[in-house]
Amino acid sequence: MNELRVFCPATIANVACGFDVLGLCLDHIGDEMVVRKTDNGKLSISRIEGQDLPFEADNNVAGVAAKALLEALGSEQGFDIEIYKKIKPGSGIGSSAASSAGAVFAVNKLLGEPFSLQELIPFAMEGEKLASGALHADNVAPALLGGFSLVRSYDPLDVIKLHSPSQLYASIIHPQIEVKTADARSVLKQSVPLKKAITQWGNVGGLVSGLYTEDYDLIGRSLHDVIVEPLRSLLIPRFNQVKQAAAKAGALGSGISGSGPSIFALSKGEQTAKKVAEAMGQVYSDSGVDFDLHVSRISHKGIHPIISNTP
């Protein structure tokens, strides 16, 4: 196999209470990439559609992630990458992670899979570092593994794939404003009061337990962030109104998707998720701010090959 086309799903990171440690994979929302072997020994990006992104491999998250993998192998195999972006950068649903993880998945596959999906995570994290300045795995892990991921530890890296309840759906609204990950990180405080920390890790434990027991009420009670959301929500217009509308429409809980500006809500069942999305959209309908709406089940597949002859 000398060429591979892959689907690179969007992701929701943090999932309210799990800043930098929790993430989930969405189903039909994502990018496509084509990666092929070349004979010139170079890593290149020949085509980017959908967004204005750097073609230089060292300045593109896909190039940086793929290069990290090749250096770890000591491989001089050349590769060319085509990127078809459908996830807007700065949207908060894992645009950079889709490219980073997609590149390492495809390169690894074309090289005969010397690394497991778990072992690909650190290489994809190098792309995230280029995008945000931080080596975080809460987007790239679910993009590669599918479902929910928990980063139990960063040093050493220890990522666990969690159970995903079958009736859990996500509704996402993306107001057309940009909140860069690096900027969103700059508003965070470096110390946390003990009382808030206790509340937060209780919610993380409750959420993980709720996922495994498929206790949707427990999931809803646990989707609360008392540390990051109060600071980052100030960057997102009408955030509190969206949360209130989602709750009224039947959502289990909601929060900022990644670093924003997208806002997510989790619901039991697709019909409720659609009602929640509609309610979230109503909040922005008279704001003068354009927005995109998505409803998706939680995908168990993660990045995967696709068969297609057109982008």
Q: Where are the domains of the chain?
A: 3-162+301-305, 168-297
Give yes or no for a contact between 36 and 45, defined as CB atoms under 8 angstroms apart. no
Q: Is 213 a catalytic residue?
A: no
Q: What is the DSSP letter of 191?
A: -
Give yes or no for a contact between 151 and 21, defined as CB atoms under 8 angstroms apart. yes
Phi/psi at 263 (nearest 5 deg)? Answer: -120, 135
Catalytic residue, chosen from 11, 128, 229, 272, is 128
Pairwise pLDDT comparison (237 vs 150), residue with the higher score:
150
pLDDT at residue number 308? 56
Give yes or no for a contact between 263 and 231, defined as CB atoms under 8 angstroms apart. no
Q: How many CB atoms lie within 10 A of CB 94?
A: 33
Q: Is 128 a catalytic residue?
A: yes
- Span 248-274, average pLDDT: 97
Give yes or no for a contact between 247 and 254, defined as CB atoms under 8 angstroms apart. yes
pLDDT digits (tens, 9 = 90+) for 80-130: 999 999 998 888 999 999 999 999 999 999 999 999 999 999 999 999 999
* pLDDT for residue 244 is more than 60: yes
Beta-carbon-side half-sphere exposure of residue 92 (alpha carbons within 13 Å): 30
What percent of the chain shows pLDDT beyond 70?
Answer: 98
pTM of the predicted protein model: 0.93
pLDDT at residue number 240? 96
Non-local (6+) Cβ contacts of 201 within 8 A are none
Residue 119: in which H helix or E strand, if any? Answer: helix 117-132
Q: How many CB atoms lie within 10 A of CB 205?
A: 12
Beta-carbon-side half-sphere exposure of residue 147 (alpha carbons within 13 Å): 17
The CATH number assigned to the domain with range 168-297 reads 3.30.70.890
Give yes or no for a contact between 183 and 23, defined as CB atoms under 8 angstroms apart. no
pLDDT at residue number 181? 64
- Span 192-207, average pLDDT: 97
The SS3 of residue 1 is coil
The SS3 of residue 133 is coil
199 residue type, one letter: T
Q: Average per-residue pLDDT in the chain? A: 94
Residues 65, 101: Cα–Cα separation, whole Å: 8
Radius of gyration of the chain (CA): 19
Q: What is the DSSP letter of 89?
A: T
Pairwise pLDDT comparison (186 vs 21), residue with the higher score:
21
- Span 54-83, average pLDDT: 97
Catalytic residue, chosen from 32, 181, 229, 272, is 181
Q: How many CB atoms lie within 10 A of CB 95?
A: 27
The SS3 of residue 114 is coil
The CATH number assigned to the domain with range 3-162+301-305 reads 3.30.230.10
Give yes or no for a contact between 150 and 159, defined as CB atoms under 8 angstroms apart. yes
Banded model confidence at residue 311, pLDDT cuts 50, 70, 90: very low
